Copies of this chain bind each other. A is one copy, B any other.
Amino acid sequence: MTLRVVIADDEDLIRAGLRIIVEAEPDLTVVGEAADGAEVVPMVRQQRPDVVLMDVRMPSVDGIQATRLLTALAEPPKVIVVTTFDNDDYVYDALRAGASGFLLKRTRPADLVQAIRVVSAGDSLLFPSAVRALAVSRAGARPHPGIARLTAREADVLRLMARGLSNAEIAGELVVGGETIKSHVGNVLAKLNARDRTQAVIAAYESGFHSPADHR
């Protein structure tokens, strides 16, 4: 059984390149091309492909919105969002829109076809820097070195700071005196090299530190 693929990209060159890669595989076939997000929906409705390769940046209706529309269909195809830049903010949006995969245009052909097979099998995947970008949120932010040097208590305090609590509130939450919190906060600021609590909270967010363990 061959996998039916639709390619959506506004650049003819890219479409051609993708088509060649896909058609080179015996079990894959391109059943349609769209140059715009507006074209892709009726095309999918008609062709019922297994997988759609979707460019992010397209005129009128962009790839994200198009993905949203496609996944809202009765029998939605799997959508793999393809983009040029690895520090792309669209990763997150793409996934929320219902995309099954996200990868870069510079991905090797072998990986691309691999991705098509994987998502069509029901799995999802992301590639390298996509995951990193997502995990790290949006900024180019690796964990702040100082965070590892926080003591348990200091980490508690930072966590609560990152939830917007005042010193007094934190004191209440941790059932200790207000002066104690001031101490801890001071230490946290020093270790994180932050001037004030706002900078500390920013560091916490940039490091993906904020409250790993509270759901309510």
Residue ranges of A at the interface with B (Cβ–Cβ < 8 Å): 62, 64-65, 68-69, 71-72, 89-90, 92-93, 95-100, 122-132, 134-140, 143, 145, 147-148, 161-164, 166, 194-199, 201-202, 205, 208, 210-213, 215
Contact = CB atoms under 8 A, between A and B. Distances in A.
A126 B128 contact: no
Nearest to A211: B139
A69 B202 contact: no
B72 A135 contact: no
A215 B167 CA distance: 32
Shortest 10 CB-CB contacts between residues of A and residues of B: A96-B208, A95-B135, A124-B131, A164-B199, A72-B148, A93-B212, A205-B205, A96-B135, A198-B198, A164-B202
A213 B61 CA distance: 12
A102 B138 CA distance: 16
Nearest to A216: B140
Given A68-B143, A97-B208, A122-B128, A164 B134 contact: no
A136 B194 CA distance: 25
